[in-house]
Chains A and B, each alone.
Chain A
């Protein structure tokens, strides 16, 4: 197997058309051509750090502010999951936990691993790393579930004195965290994973 770059060519990532290395704009789809994104890792780290910082207030501040006739309560992401468990809604508690805790944290770790392994020019586990990259790209958006839950609840539960639900600060920072990590994953140039075995062999 030979890459486009080995053959002295550059491929368009948008439409797959192949050109000679000195071409700057794709003749088929007019997209910008770059054999490799040399600033890829810089952007990956920058967005990732921003995403991790935003994830802190997302967990410490309340996500939902609930007022009913008898009580006023604030719940964080983890608090909401625990509450659902206590109500016996196991399935929903699991969905929220996976979307709001496991996916974001797993994504941070996966991106750190991908970026470090490319920096170290590791020749190992290329197929696994590529799968990890695809998974991160595909699954990252699903973290938004909790933000949408908060949006629907605060719109729906507005019954004056009986019960009202309003969004907390965490909803905002959680949404930002998801957007930043999505941008981080998109900035990662997956072709870099495969560049190493060329220098080794």
Chain B
């Protein structure tokens, strides 16, 4: 079997089940799946890289807005309390819960921002067809690796649950940061849908030479 192995660059192995496939140029908009376990191996969308980059930039700007503006305001019996995303994190700041505050800050703000920064850093020169920046591969690998730990979309569902829980107790007003945060979530999902890991790695590899 090993005698007929084609050049290694023409092969692609499924990262989840190790099945070997021949890499092919896909027609626009097509997706290639692993023949055995069915995960997406590569996608082909024209100009996807530029779209990913612009979505990442948009999400980054909106994330800054989401942490700076008031997120929610609570009104009850003449007392008012305005909360920003940062306040939500600092809710855990006393005593035993401090590590939790740090973890929540990472999950909902810092890791999403790190992923976006790393992606913009790695893809920027590729889109302009320039040489990749030093450490571009490490940056892209980091963005991929942090994916499961970026929990902005889970946070927004948690906020919805919390809103319904307090709805009976007090009047809650939703601030601009809430919409900015929801925007970040939607844009990030769109961006992650467009990313084809295989072609980005290939492009990073080729641009280097």
Contact = CB atoms under 8 A, between A and B. Distances in A.
Nearest to B4: A7
Interface string B10-37: 0111111111100000000000000111
Given A2-B20, A7-B2, A141-B154, A13 B15 contact: yes
Contacts, number: 219
A156 B72 contact: yes
Contacts of A16: 12-15, 41-42, 197-198, 201
Given A28-B201, A148-B158, A130 B17 contact: yes
B14 to A, nearest CB: 8
B15 A144 contact: no
Interface string B96-140: 110110011001100000000000000000000000000001101
B104 A151 contact: yes
Interface of B: 1-2, 5, 8-9, 11-20, 35-37, 39, 41-42, 72, 74, 76-77, 79, 81, 83, 87-92, 96-97, 99-100, 103-104, 107-108, 137-138, 140-141, 144, 148-149, 151, 154-155, 157-159, 161-162, 164-166, 168-170, 172, 197-198, 201-202, 204-205
Contacts of B79: 159-160, 162
Contacts of B17: 3, 130, 190-191, 193-194
A interface, size bucket: 35 or more
Nearest to A146: B158
Interface stretch (A38-46, A47-55, A109-117, A164-172): A164-172
A79 interface: no
A105 interface: no
B interface, by DSSP: helix, strand, loop or mixed?
Answer: helix
